[in-house]
């Protein structure tokens, strides 16, 4: 089974930095993904971590600690368009191979 936790809501102001945490408990861990989803749209891939450490991609960075079952998504120089839901997803091994299991998502509101 799996259990993925992330905060329900966060708020921040333009230009700031925000860190969205995700903790997970799962068997057969095979990588962690972060997605951004604007209302009414499909999720958009942001990052993938399978080894411990920090992956940086422009204004977005993602960190993973497998021993702690912990990841975070760091967003720098926040912009209004970053207001969205951020989904942490763990890929785990299952009967069919692997599958992405999603957390409930964190709704980020960026204000001016």
Contact footprint for other proteins (CB under 8 A): 31, 33, 41-45, 48, 50, 87, 89, 91, 94-105
Contacts (Cβ under 8 Å, ≥6 apart) of 109: 9, 10, 11, 12, 83
Q: Name the token pair of 51.
A: 């080894």
CB of 72 to other proteins, least distance (A): 18
Nearer to other proteins, 38 or 77 (CB): 38
Q: Least separation, in Å, of the C-beta of 43 and other proteins?
A: 5
Residue among 82 and 91 whose Cβ is closer to other proteins:
91
């Amino acid at each position: 089974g799996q259990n993925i936790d992330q905060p329900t809501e966060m708020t921040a102001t333009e230009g700031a930095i925000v860190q969205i945490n995700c903790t997970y408990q799962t068997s057969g861990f095979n990588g962690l993904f972060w997605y951004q989803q604007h209302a009414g749209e499909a999720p958009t891939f942001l990052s993938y971590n399978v080894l411990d450490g920090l992956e940086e991609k422009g204004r977005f960075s993602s960190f993973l600690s497998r021993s702690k079952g912990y990841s975070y998504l760091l967003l720098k120089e926040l912009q209004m368009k970053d207001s969205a839901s951020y989904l942490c997803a763990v890929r785990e091994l299952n009967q069919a191979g692997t599958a992405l299991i999603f957390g409930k998502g964190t709704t980020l509101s960026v204000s001016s």
